[in-house]
């Protein structure tokens, strides 16, 4: 169904409604721009709504869903942190000052701390912020608060999709990045095979969530970077979920199942499957590396 809602990226005036149902109760719907193809939630959160959501509500939804605490979150996300360290490690040097935006309980910064000169984070959720400070990670309130600093390496892992004004946000981040410094961004890929190739209804109603205001593909992420004045970047395809997880979605339309059939599937099959999806950008994740000119 076509609707005259203005695309927040290219400002085209027609979008189609892609989904009226989100993971949690919400007055918002998912739209797709007829021109640039961006998927986004509308109506957008105001800046105040966005701030309150992250200071309070997001954490409540999060902890009621997972029954977690900052310490448990730290433990459970260490494997992810090690994976992101693998992806970035050739770009990390002993003399680098590093900043992670949306660092949660600090698992990634704690993982790289011994390999770089210094680590700081930005985190607005109060309990997560306190946890980071307790483990010795300095936390800034916002990008604005560190506007006089310059970092060699900046990380934004699964953050950009939460931001209501990504173009201006990225411009602000680029200002605190040193010349020749690098910004690493990871976002979910909306061209995920579970959505685009297999079109699983249960996955669709799980995938779109009130917390994610934008759903990027390689093309719309590139366009977002260029609109923010960023010209030097690479976007790499990455598949994080495995074949067993995909079969679980197909059979039960629910998350889970990772590793279940590993007794039967060979490593060659698993990595071939991931590579097939990556080659066509039907993978679940986009990993972007931006260099400041």
- Judged by the rule CB under 5 A, the positions of this chain that interact with Zn ion are 7, 9-10, 12, 33, 35-36, 38
> For residue 21, what are its two tokens?
């149902």
Round to whole Å and give the CA distance between 225 and 223.
5
Q: Which is nearer to Zn ion, 29 or 153 (CB)?
A: 29
The span from the CA of 80 to the CA of 39, in Å, is 26
- Of the candidates 91, 81, 148, the one whose C-alpha atom is nearest the C-alpha of residue 116 is 91
In the bound complex, what is the minimum distance in angstroms from residue 20's beta carbon to Zn ion? 20
We find the least distance from the C-beta atom of residue 36 to Zn ion, in angstroms, to be: 3
Residues in the chain: 293
For the bound state, the minimum distance from the C-beta of residue 216 to Zn ion, rounded and expressed in Å, comes to 12
Nearer to Zn ion, 38 or 104 (CB): 38
Smallest distance from Zn ion to CB 284, Å = 23
| Residue 40 or 157 with smaller CB distance to Zn ion | 40
Smaller CB separation from Zn ion, 19 or 63: 19
C-alpha span between 99 and 113 (Å, rounded): 11
Give min distance, CB of 210 to Zn ion, in A. Answer: 21
Least Å from the CB of residue 1 to Zn ion: 17
Q: How far is the CB of 4 from Zn ion (least distance, A)?
A: 13
Give the sheet arrangement for strand 285-291, strand by strand: 138-140, 118-122, 97-101, 151-157, 177-188, 285-291, 233-238
For Zn ion, the closer of residues 128 and 160 by Cβ is 160
Nearer to Zn ion, 35 or 55 (CB): 35
Between 3 and 150, name the residue whose CB sits nearer to Zn ion. 3
Peptide bond into 43 cis (omega under 30): yes
CA distance 131 to 105: 6
């Amino acid at each position: 169904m076509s609707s005259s809602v203005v695309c927040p990226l290219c400002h085209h005036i027609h979008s189609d409604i892609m989904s009226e149902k989100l993971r949690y109760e919400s007055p918002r719907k998912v739209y797709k721009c007829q021109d640039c193809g961006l998927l986004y939630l509308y109506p957008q959160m105001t800046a105040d709504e966005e701030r309150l959501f992250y200071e309070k509500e997001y954490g409540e939804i999060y902890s009621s869903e997972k029954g977690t605490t900052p310490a448990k979150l730290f433990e459970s996300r260490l494997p992810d942190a090690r994976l992101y360290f693998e992806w970035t490690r050739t770009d990390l040097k002993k003399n680098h000052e590093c900043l992670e935006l949306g660092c949660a309980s600090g698992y990634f910064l704690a993982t790289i701390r011994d390999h770089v000169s210094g680590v700081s984070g930005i985190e607005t959720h109060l309990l997560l912020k306190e946890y980071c400070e307790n483990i010795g990670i300095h936390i800034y309130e916002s990008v604005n608060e560190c506007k006089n600093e310059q970092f060699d390496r900046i990380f934004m892992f699964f953050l950009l999709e939460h931001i209501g004004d990504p173009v201006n946000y990225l411009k602000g981040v680029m200002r605190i990045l040193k010349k020749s410094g690098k910004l690493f961004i990871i976002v979910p890929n909306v061209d995920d095979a579970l959505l685009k190739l297999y079109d699983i209804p249960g996955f669709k109603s799980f995938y779109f969530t009130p917390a994610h205001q934008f759903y990027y593909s390689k093309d719309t992420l590139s366009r977002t970077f260029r609109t923010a004045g960023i010209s030097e970047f690479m976007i790499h395809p990455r598949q994080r979920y495995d074949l067993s997880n995909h079969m679980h979605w197909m059979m039960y339309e629910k998350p889970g199942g990772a590793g279940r059939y590993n007794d039967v599937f060979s490593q060659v099959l698993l990595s071939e499957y991931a590579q097939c999806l990556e080659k066509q950008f039907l993978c679940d994740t986009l990993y972007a590396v931006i260099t400041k000119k």
